[in-house]
Copies of this chain bind each other. A is one copy, B any other.
């Protein structure tokens, strides 16, 4: 039961093919076959059905563990090596679209760029998963992520990272201007909207799963899916009545086709957090964190 057997198992399951996994991992097909056989022999369970290659029930269960394990091993490696690595002349910050919009991060990075001209600053806008994963794996020095939560509650992140809260703003329901509720009282309870049509836009807005968890209400079923990261597109979908979505009011002020109605109950905030592994002293990453966190 070795770690890199898990890695090839995960790769085979993801790619759905022994040969493809072998190519990705720089192995022979035969080697991959042997590794899977060894793993199945150790556990005395069939993990994959062949032709087509897909995980069995036991394999699926193992995947649920293996993916976080491998992520954490990469994080451990990145964390430890970062402690000794020379302070790089490079700073990569990954952030979700809303984290960028709701924090002073991009402005602070611009400031840092002028103050340290020799520093190579890179910004990566990505989904929440990508931000957490690339920060944990050390592909980014810092991450900025967002989500909804009760006031002062930290976000629940999957990856093993330190986190500090940066900002909290109220959340609002984005409605088409001609929606019946748009002219209603300026604040609204979410419980009345659990049965409405919602847009699931996990890369931009809070996920509906997070919404259910934060409110404790089932419902919030998706009528429309949007996998992109563009806020404008999301507004247009909302304006055209494809469903509701939850965004900070300040983002909607310049959008004439939609109205933002603040959520009164339950008490929720849209929260931005800075996440990071080890921050070596005197590193650009530590400088940025110090600039942005107070």
Contact = CB atoms under 8 A, between A and B. Distances in A.
A293 interface: no
B68 A80 contact: no
B84 A58 contact: yes
Nearest to A76: B65
Interface in A49-86: 57-58, 61-62, 65-66, 68-69, 72-73, 75-77, 79-81, 83-84
A116 interface: no
A278 B58 CA distance: 10
A44 B81 contact: yes
Given A45-B80, A81-B43, A65 B58 contact: no
A282 interface: no
A55 to B, nearest CB: 11
Interface in A87-122: none
Interface of A: 1-4, 43-45, 57-58, 61-62, 65-66, 68-69, 72-73, 75-77, 79-81, 83-84, 150, 152, 160, 216, 278
